[in-house]
Chain A
């Protein structure tokens, strides 16, 4: 009986330890899984440099500081990745603070790069200043952030980004998938991308000419059906003429483009468009916020009720924030619940095209 109790006690301890170890392994995996691969590669590169500077023979103190704009989850994952890479080089992190070698890792940033440093301080090394290992990661080398899941009302999807300004885009057939196609309208150029192996491949570039300079605030919208795209720019109206290798035919059009949006009744907003969505007896709209083109912006959903005498709009749900102004906002196609937003990212300088889908929870 006594032996049986002892056995059960030991079994319980083993199970608890197993569960804790499993949870820790899961937590570590979740941390490192949260990082794009480039970060893990960077951590490996940094650990290689540190290993070349200092011997892992003795335990080291390890400190990690994040002074970059990377969020807490990303920073935790970066720390975990670096610790794992240091462990790979047989570094042991000391529990006490008086190890002979101290490693202080700092995740910082400049306007163009994430900068990851490790300051190495060794007792009796003869160096007055710490040795410093530095690796960098260009911010524009990071994979696209999908940007979705920020709100229950609006869901945004980054479809396209490029350094060059573009006015509008149109995605036909969804994300890079067989038979899908992407049109990107720039001032003076329409670019057509087809999906090849789930990546966009430039299919055709169509020059758009005009006898006089474009207005400084040149605008342009893609419209038409999925089979036959069309677009309008100041003084020009164009329609797709062939499908396999897209071409367009253009003719003179009005200088002033017809407004694509409508005001949200009773509320001051930036750009606003109706979406084909009914929320009970009300309709939904999506609008950018107030602010000029030097400020960050957001898209907010609105419920608009038509009362007997007037219509009134009320903000609904959480706004989707962007790192720059929404410079263009149009409904994706008549009747759909999606809008296309072109954002000028003030942090990266890139222009980004988002497809923002509105849904109404009743």
Chain B
């Protein structure tokens, strides 16, 4: 708990000064909000839903929430924005919907530049070429040090090590527990996530269910390794495991490599393996994988149900939904049942991080499954020059 608080405090020290000292203003109308996204959308056809890669699906969902069912030719009052220009794969321009039932958005337009990779997005923010871009959590500290204004959500993404069903014999409970003990979660947060996040011992973060502190972690990295060695001494023969990660995900790769290093200190051999897109974890030959699970609800029962459903597809985990009447105690008990079997080893919680230009006002980081609140955002207009 104290380490978690320390990590949060550290990032707050970096971020808060950047966000503070905004002068008070009534919202102003006007201006064009410039947005960079990594996805490259080639179609805006309705009904595509979350088709495509994770990044594309996310971008499509965000855009659909901005325009609603409001297409270029329609005259409905649903959707805060309407499409005014569309260059497939390059640029999407949205205009404020004057008839929007929730009130006309403050900005006149949004220009969404597509296909901007993480490096481009960061550069655009630094050079004030964009007003908004999502930043990888591991890049947040660097961005703040370069003067980029950041907005950080509550931690809403779980990073976990999941043992696959197929490896149940190979990775028995004691091995799984030894690996869990050996992992230095503090280092994962400090060095890989650059202090943007929290070490995790449970599936849900503290702010969601209020019980994360009940899941204990080794008192120190050395104590964890010692406990892992103690567990391994009770077993016969060396253990060799393959740990898979999404080959296109630098964060997953860094974490997988860190887990392998920690496990080696305890005497467990882990080989990391990049799994190419399109190949399933079980087909890859991996015994365990690094998984990123994004919360789809801030309600603990729904968030845990979603997580268990996903985990149940890979590991020997009861993936059934929690009852609508589940209490905090029920949710905790179910969470603990998964954790104490070590089929799922929580590592860290990461937030969503957004880079903003200095003129963006009234931005609030969205919660799980919420959309970018661009209709509420307004842009600081340059002060009119005073005649001499």
A67 within 8 A of B: yes
Given that A269-B24, A288-B24 are known contacts, is A216 also in contact with B375, CB under 8 Å in the complex? yes
CB-CB nearest in chain A for B298:
A111
B336 within 8 A of A: yes
- The distance in angstroms between the C-alpha atoms of A216 and B107, with both chains bound, is 11
A214 within 8 A of B: yes
Nearest-Cβ distance from residue A236 to partner chain B, whole angstroms: 15
Chain A residues, CB < 8 A from B102: 213, 216
B213 within 8 A of A: yes
Q: Mark B330-352, 1 if CB is under 8 A from A, else 0.
A: 00100010001000000000000
Binds B, one of A22-30, A239-247, A277-285, A289-297: A289-297
Nearest-Cβ distance from residue B237 to partner chain A, whole angstroms: 25
Chain A residues, CB < 8 A from B127: none
- The distance in angstroms between the C-alpha atoms of A140 and B300, with both chains bound, is 17
Nearest-Cβ distance from residue A342 to partner chain B, whole angstroms: 14
Q: List residues 318-377 of chain B with CB under 8 A from any CB of chain A.
A: 327-329, 332, 336, 340, 361-364, 375-376
Q: Are B104 and A215 in contact (CB under 8 A)?
A: yes
Nearest-Cβ distance from residue A197 to partner chain B, whole angstroms: 34
Find B27's partner among A114, A216, A268 (CB 8 Å cutoff).
A216
Chain A residues, CB < 8 A from B100: 213
Q: Are A213 and B207 in contact (CB under 8 A)?
A: no
Q: Are B214 and A119 in contact (CB under 8 A)?
A: yes
Q: Are B104 and A216 in contact (CB under 8 A)?
A: yes
CB-CB nearest in chain A for B23:
A290
Chain A residues, CB < 8 A from B209: 110, 115
Find A289's partner among B24, B26, B104 (CB 8 Å cutoff).
B24
Q: How many B residues touch the partner, as a band?
A: 35 or more
A132 within 8 A of B: yes
Q: Mark A118-154, 1 if CB is under 8 A from B, else 0.
A: 0100000000010011111000000000000000000
Chain A residues, CB < 8 A from B363: 294
Find A110's partner among B101, B300, B375 (CB 8 Å cutoff).
B300
B103 within 8 A of A: yes
Find A213's partner among B77, B106, B336, B364 (CB 8 Å cutoff).
B77
Find B105's partner among A108, A113, A216 (CB 8 Å cutoff).
A216
Chain A residues, CB < 8 A from B332: 132, 134
Q: Are A108 and B206 in contact (CB under 8 A)?
A: yes
- The distance in angstroms between the C-alpha atoms of A218 and B23, with both chains bound, is 21
Chain B residues, CB < 8 A from A359: none
Find A216's partner among B25, B106, B210, B214 (CB 8 Å cutoff).
B106
Given that A106-B213, A108-B210, A216-B375 are known contacts, is A113 also in contact with B23, CB under 8 Å in the complex? no
Q: Are B340 and A129 in contact (CB under 8 A)?
A: yes
Nearest-Cβ distance from residue B159 to partner chain A, whole angstroms: 20
Nearest-Cβ distance from residue A45 to partner chain B, whole angstroms: 11
B219 within 8 A of A: no
Q: Sample 9 A-B pairs with CB under 8 A, ordered by A number.
A: A106-B213, A111-B298, A134-B211, A135-B328, A213-B101, A216-B375, A217-B26, A217-B106, A268-B23
Using a CB–CB cutoff of 8 Å, the interface residues on chain B facing chain A are: 1, 22-27, 77, 99-106, 154, 206-211, 213-214, 298, 300, 327-329, 332, 336, 340, 361-364, 375-376
